[in-house]
Structure 1
Amino acid sequence: MNKRCIYCEKLSIEALVELAKISFEAQRFSQDAYYQHHDSFSALEQSAYNGCDLCQVILQCFQQTPCEAEQPLEWPQEWNEMTNASLDGFPHTMYSVAKGLDISDVKLCINTSHLYDSQGLRDVRVFDEIVVQVGTLHIETDENYGVWSFPSLVLRLSTPKDQAVYVETFRIGRFEVDPDLGSLTNHQLAKEWLTECCHHHESCLSHQMHELPSRVIDVGSSPNERSVRLFLSHGLEADYVALSHCWGGAISPLLTTESTAIFQQNIDIEVLPANFRDAITITRHLGIRYLWIDSLCIQQDSKSDWEIESKRMGLVYRNSTVTISAMVSGHSKSGILKTSQSAQSFGASTTLDVVVGNDDTFKVTVRRKNLQEENLISLDRRSALAERGWTLQEYILSPRHLLYGQEMIYWRCPQGFKSSDGLPPGNNSPHTIYEDAAQVIFSDILRHVEAVPPDIDAIFRDYSELVNAYSQRKLTYGSDKLPAFSGLAQRLHPAIGGEYLAGIWSANFRQGLLWTAEMKFCQHVNEPYRAPSWSWAVTDDLVLFEGPQYSINPRVPDNPYGEILSAKLVVEALTKPLVRSRQVVETILDPNSIGTAKFDEPAGPEDSVPMGWASLFRMKTEGGDYILSIITRPGDDADWEVDFHYFREDEYLLMLVYTEDDVAGDDETEWSQSPAFCLILRQTSDESQETYERVGFAKLQELRLRWLKTWERCVLTLV
Structure 2
Amino acid sequence: MAKSRPFVGPEWNSKFFVQSDLDSSDSDSESLSNSPANVQADSREKEQRLCSRCSQMFATLDNLRCLTSRDGYKHHTKAELRESAKGGCPFCKEVLCQKRTTAACFDDDEPLESLKFFARREGTKEENLLVLPLIEESFPDIEGYEEFVAYPFEKWKIAGIGCGTSECGYNIRVQCVFTESDNPAAKYVERRSLAANFESSTKMFQAQRWLEDCRLEHPDCPRHLVPKLPTRVIDVGELGNSQSVRLHVRDRDEKAEYVALSYCWGGPQLFTTTISTLEDNIRSLPENKLPKTIQHAILVTRCLGIRYLWVDALCIIQDSYADKISEIANMGAIYKSATVTISAACASGVNVGFLWNRNRWVKKAYQFPFLLPDGKMTTVSLASFDVRTQQLTVEAIDQRAWCFQESLLSPRQLVFGSRELLWNCQTLQNEPIAKSNTAYLYDLRRLPRSVFSPQYADTHTNFERARIWNTIVESYTRRSISRLDDRLLAIEGVAEELAHIWNDTHVFGLMRGTLIRNLSWHIAVLSDHMGYPSIEPVLPIPTTLSFPSWTWVSVDSPVTIVELNVVDAALVSVTDENSTLHGPEIYGSTGKLVLKAKMLSMQDFSEDIFDKLQASISVDREDKMAVNNTSVLLLLGSSDGEGEISLILRRSKDGMFERIGLMINPFESLFKTHLKIVPALVTII
The answer to whether 1:439 aligns with 2:440 is: no
Q: Out of 160, 177, 198, which is 1:129 matched to?
A: 160
Q: Out of 181, 194, 210, which is 1:161 matched to?
A: 181
CA distance in 1, matches of 2:555, 2:604: 21
* Higher RCO structure (Cα 8 Å, ≥6 apart): 2
Are the counterparts in 1 of residues 642 and 665 from structure 2 also a CA contact under 8 Å? no
Call closer, same or farther: CA 1:395–1:126 in 2, change over 3 Å.
Answer: farther
Q: Out of 224, 240, 245, which is 1:223 matched to?
A: 240
How big is the shift at 1:3?
Answer: 7.4
> Residue 525 of structure 1 aligns with which residue?
541
Q: Out of 634, 641, 655, which is 2:634 matched to?
A: 655
CA distance in 1, matches of 2:106, 2:167: 16
Are the counterparts in 2 of residues 482 and 537 from structure 1 also a CA contact under 8 Å? yes
> Residue 552 of structure 1 aligns with which residue?
576
Identity %: 23
How big is the shift at 1:566?
Answer: 1.6
Q: Out of 422, 434, 456, which is 1:410 matched to?
A: 422
Are the counterparts in 1 of residues 194 and 436 from structure 2 also a CA contact under 8 Å? no
Q: Out of 288, 296, 318, which is 2:336 matched to?
A: 318
Q: Out of 663, 672, 675, which is 1:697 matched to?
A: 663
Call closer, same or farther: CA 1:352–1:205 in 2, change over 3 Å.
Answer: farther
The letter of the residue matching 2:451 is: I
> Residue 7 of structure 1 aligns with which residue?
53
> Residue 266 of structure 1 aligns with which residue?
284
> Residue 534 of structure 1 aligns with which residue?
550
Q: Out of 557, 567, 574, which is 2:598 matched to?
A: 574
> Residue 630 of structure 1 aligns with which residue?
none
SS of equivalent to 1:238: coil
How big is the shift at 1:371?
Answer: 6.7
Query: Which shifted more, 516-525 or 217-226?
Result: 516-525
Are the counterparts in 1 of residues 173 and 386 from structure 2 also a CA contact under 8 Å? no
- Once the two structures are superposed, residues 556-577 of structure 1 have per-residue CA deviations (whole angstroms, 9 ceiling, x without a partner) of 6658997662222122321111
How big is the shift at 1:491?
Answer: 0.6
Are the counterparts in 2 of residues 481 and 530 from structure 1 also a CA contact under 8 Å? no
- Once the two structures are superposed, residues 184-223 of structure 1 have per-residue CA deviations (whole angstroms, 9 ceiling, x without a partner) of 2222221121122122324422100100111100000233
> Residue 129 of structure 2 aligns with which residue?
none
How big is the shift at 1:96?
Answer: 9.7
Q: Out of 95, 102, 107, which is 2:116 matched to?
A: 107
SS of equivalent to 2:182: helix
> Residue 428 of structure 1 aligns with which residue?
440
Call closer, same or farther: CA 1:649–1:350 in 2, change over 3 Å.
Answer: closer
Are the counterparts in 2 of residues 410 and 420 from structure 1 also a CA contact under 8 Å? yes
CA distance in 2, matches of 1:312, 1:648: 42
Call closer, same or farther: CA 1:451–1:385 in 2, change over 3 Å.
Answer: closer
The letter of the residue matching 1:59 is: K
> Residue 365 of structure 1 aligns with which residue?
381
> Residue 364 of structure 2 aligns with which residue?
347
Call closer, same or farther: CA 1:7–1:650 in 2, change over 3 Å.
Answer: same
CA distance in 2, matches of 1:367, 1:2: 17
SS of equivalent to 1:197: helix
> Residue 484 of structure 1 aligns with which residue?
490
Call closer, same or farther: CA 1:11–1:20 in 2, change over 3 Å.
Answer: closer
Are the counterparts in 1 of residues 67 and 73 from structure 2 also a CA contact under 8 Å? no
The letter of the residue matching 1:384 is: A
CA distance in 2, matches of 1:44, 1:301: 68
Are the counterparts in 1 of residues 450 and 457 from structure 2 also a CA contact under 8 Å? no
> Residue 559 of structure 2 aligns with which residue?
543
Call closer, same or farther: CA 1:498–1:203 in 2, change over 3 Å.
Answer: closer
Call closer, same or farther: CA 1:679–1:112 in 2, change over 3 Å.
Answer: farther
Q: Out of 660, 675, 679, which is 2:643 matched to?
A: 675
Call closer, same or farther: CA 1:660–1:340 in 2, change over 3 Å.
Answer: closer
Question: How large is the Cα RMSD of the aligned pairs?
Answer: 3.8
Call closer, same or farther: CA 1:137–1:213 in 2, change over 3 Å.
Answer: farther
CA distance in 1, matches of 2:495, 2:156: 38
SS of equivalent to 1:709: coil
How big is the shift at 1:57?
Answer: 2.5
Are the counterparts in 2 of residues 500 and 506 from structure 1 also a CA contact under 8 Å? yes
> Residue 60 of structure 1 aligns with which residue?
94
Call closer, same or farther: CA 1:464–1:660 in 2, change over 3 Å.
Answer: closer
How big is the shift at 1:347?
Answer: 3.3
SS of equivalent to 1:2: helix
SS of equivalent to 2:448: helix
- Once the two structures are superposed, residues 342-388 of structure 1 have per-residue CA deviations (whole angstroms, 9 ceiling, x without a partner) of 455x33531331313x3454432224138799x9x844xx1110111
Q: Out of 390, 394, 406, which is 1:394 matched to?
A: 406
The letter of the residue matching 2:224 is: H
CA distance in 2, matches of 1:288, 1:125: 39
- Once the two structures are superposed, residues 409-430 of structure 1 have per-residue CA deviations (whole angstroms, 9 ceiling, x without a partner) of 01011111320451599x6132
Are the counterparts in 2 of residues 553 and 564 from structure 1 also a CA contact under 8 Å? no
CA distance in 2, matches of 1:499, 1:37: 65
CA distance in 2, matches of 1:572, 1:16: 74
- Once the two structures are superposed, residues 493-528 of structure 1 have per-residue CA deviations (whole angstroms, 9 ceiling, x without a partner) of 023234312111221122111112331454353367
The letter of the residue matching 2:481 is: L
CA distance in 2, matches of 1:201, 1:194: 10
Call closer, same or farther: CA 1:5–1:657 in 2, change over 3 Å.
Answer: closer
Q: Out of 344, 347, 356, which is 1:338 matched to?
A: 356
Call closer, same or farther: CA 1:660–1:192 in 2, change over 3 Å.
Answer: closer
- Once the two structures are superposed, residues 82-101 of structure 1 have per-residue CA deviations (whole angstroms, 9 ceiling, x without a partner) of xxxxxxxxxxxx78999996
Are the counterparts in 1 of residues 263 and 345 from structure 2 also a CA contact under 8 Å? yes
Call closer, same or farther: CA 1:339–1:581 in 2, change over 3 Å.
Answer: farther
The answer to whether 1:495 aligns with 2:501 is: yes
How big is the shift at 1:251?
Answer: 1.4
SS of equivalent to 1:553: coil
Structure 1 spans left out of the alignment, 5+ residues: 23-31, 72-93, 139-148, 608-646, 662-672
Query: Which shifted more, 707-716 or 198-207?
Result: 707-716
> Residue 469 of structure 1 aligns with which residue?
475
The letter of the residue matching 1:697 is: M
- Structural mapping, 1:13-24, within 5 Å: none
Are the counterparts in 2 of residues 323 and 398 from structure 1 also a CA contact under 8 Å? yes
The letter of the residue matching 2:555 is: T
CA distance in 1, matches of 2:598, 2:551: 20
Are the counterparts in 1 of residues 193 and 436 from structure 2 also a CA contact under 8 Å? no
**TM-score, with structure 2 as normaliser:** 0.77
CA distance in 2, matches of 1:658, 1:232: 52
Are the counterparts in 2 of residues 57 and 350 from structure 1 also a CA contact under 8 Å? no
Are the counterparts in 2 of residues 129 and 157 from structure 1 also a CA contact under 8 Å? yes
Structure 2 spans left out of the alignment, 5+ residues: 1-46, 125-131, 144-154, 526-535, 563-570
How big is the shift at 1:269?
Answer: 1.0
Call closer, same or farther: CA 1:343–1:494 in 2, change over 3 Å.
Answer: closer
- Once the two structures are superposed, residues 12-67 of structure 1 have per-residue CA deviations (whole angstroms, 9 ceiling, x without a partner) of 28768756766xxxxxxxxx643220122x4224334546xxx423413544x5x7
The letter of the residue matching 1:194 is: L
- Once the two structures are superposed, residues 296-353 of structure 1 have per-residue CA deviations (whole angstroms, 9 ceiling, x without a partner) of 1111111211111111000010000000011111111111102112455x33531331
Kindly tell me the number of residue pairs found equivalent between the two proteins. Answer: 594
> Residue 610 of structure 1 aligns with which residue?
none
The answer to whether 1:177 aligns with 2:194 is: yes
